[in-house]
């Protein structure tokens, strides 16, 4: 263990006082080391490094009184029991009128492949993706400045041709479905989405589909 150099400069002469028999200065450190490792194991196992991760979301403020704001290019998702998703495009019409036929719900699912939400979103947002990818390439080739890139992407997302997604749920949908849907929207980098309340007419359509 720790040793002290005995032949340092000008050390004392031998043969003066007779020294006591050299005692070992070594201490048995085993218990201390045992304890140290015990504590180490304890702290390693109990400590949690990962702080919870989260998803930032802004809910809409209650709309001002008056007729609802018309959303152009809207796609409405309605979540219901058994992880089912329904959607319709455009405005809600309970009866056919001069703008088009009555709203009919289409179904999507959370799996991969045909008829899945993922595929649907990929198709719907293709234009935006291509645009953002092109900006990405330009950024990589240093044709765009960082700030310009951010501004352009933001602009592309808020473009009025980019669909706005409305997320509505009935009473039977679970929180997981909502998060999964928002997550899928985030994965597909859609422009705008908002979680909002279901209307009576929409609920009737969903109930007709699910039979409940």
Partner 1 sequence: MSKKPSKGGAPSLDMTPMVDLAFLLVTFFMLTASFRMAEPVTVDPPSSIGDVTLPDNHIMVTIDNNGRVFFGISNTTAKIAALEKMSTKYGVKFTPEQVKKFSGLPSIGVDIKDLPRYIDATENERTNFQPQKGIPNDSLKNPQLKDWIANGGTEAVRAYTEAKEKAEAAGQELKAEKPRYAIKCDGKTKYIFVKDVVKTFTDLKIYQFNLITSLEGGGTVLDQEEKKK
**Residues near partner 1 (CB under 8 A):** 1-2, 29, 32-33, 36-37, 39-40, 43-44, 46-47, 51-62, 79, 122, 129, 132-133, 136, 169, 171-180, 182-183, 186-189
- Nearer to partner 1 (CB atom), residue 103 or residue 169: 169
Residue 139 half-sphere exposure toward CB, CA atoms < 13 A? 15
What is the total residue count of the chain?
Answer: 212
Q: How far is the CB of 5 from partner 1 (least distance, A)?
A: 8
What is the smallest separation between the CB atom of 176 and partner 1, expressed in angstroms?
Answer: 3
Q: What is the spatial distance between Cα 98 and Cα 96, in angstroms, rounded to a whole number?
A: 7
Closer to partner 1 by Cβ: residue 108 or 185: 185
Q: How far is it, in rounded angstroms, from Cα 28 to Cα 209?
A: 78
35/102 with CB nearer partner 1 = 35
Q: How many CB atoms lie within 10 A of CB 125?
A: 21
Kindly tell me which of 17 and 200 has the beta carbon lying closer to partner 1. 200
- Closest listed residue to residue 101, CA positions, set 89, 113, 110: 89
Residue 10 CB partners (closer than 8 Å, separation 6+): none
CB 132 within 8 A of CB 189: yes
**59/95 with CB nearer partner 1:** 59
Dihedral sign for Cα 163, 165, 166, 172, please: positive
Q: How far is the CB of 83 from partner 1 (least distance, A)?
A: 11
- Min dist CB 16 to partner 1, Å, is 24
The SS3 of residue 160 is: coil
Q: What's the closest the beta carbon of residue 73 comes to partner 1, in angstroms? A: 20
Report, in Å, the least distance between residue 208 CB and partner 1.
20
| Nearest Cα to Cα of residue 83 among 121, 116, 58 | 116
**Beta carbon nearer to partner 1, 94 or 136:** 136
Contact call for residues 87 and 164 (beta carbons, < 8 A): no
């Amino acid at each position: 263990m720790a040793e002290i150099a005995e032949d340092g400069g000008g050390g004392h002469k031998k043969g003066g006082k007779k020294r006591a028999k050299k005692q070992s200065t070594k201490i048995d450190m085993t218990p201390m080391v045992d304890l140290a490792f015990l504590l180490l194991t304890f702290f390693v196992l109990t400590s949690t490094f990962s702080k919870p991760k989260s998803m930032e979301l802004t809910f809409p403020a209650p709309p001002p009184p008056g007729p609802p704001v018309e959303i152009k290019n809207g796609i409405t998702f309605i979540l219901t029991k058994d992880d089912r998703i329904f959607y319709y495009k455009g405005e809600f019409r309970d009866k056919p009128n001069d703008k088009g036929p009555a709203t009919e719900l289409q179904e999507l699912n959370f799996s991969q492949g045909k008829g899945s939400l993922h595929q649907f979103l990929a198709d719907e947002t293709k234009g935006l993706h291509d645009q953002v990818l092109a900006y990405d390439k330009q950024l990589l080739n240093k044709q765009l400045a960082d700030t310009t890139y951010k501004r352009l992407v933001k602009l592309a997302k808020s473009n009025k041709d980019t669909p706005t997604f409305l997320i509505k749920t009935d009473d039977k949908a679970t929180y997981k479905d909502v998060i999964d849907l928002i997550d899928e929207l985030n994965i597909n980098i859609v422009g705008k989405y908002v979680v909002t309340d279901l209307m009576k007419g929409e609920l009737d359509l969903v109930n007709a589909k699910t039979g409940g």
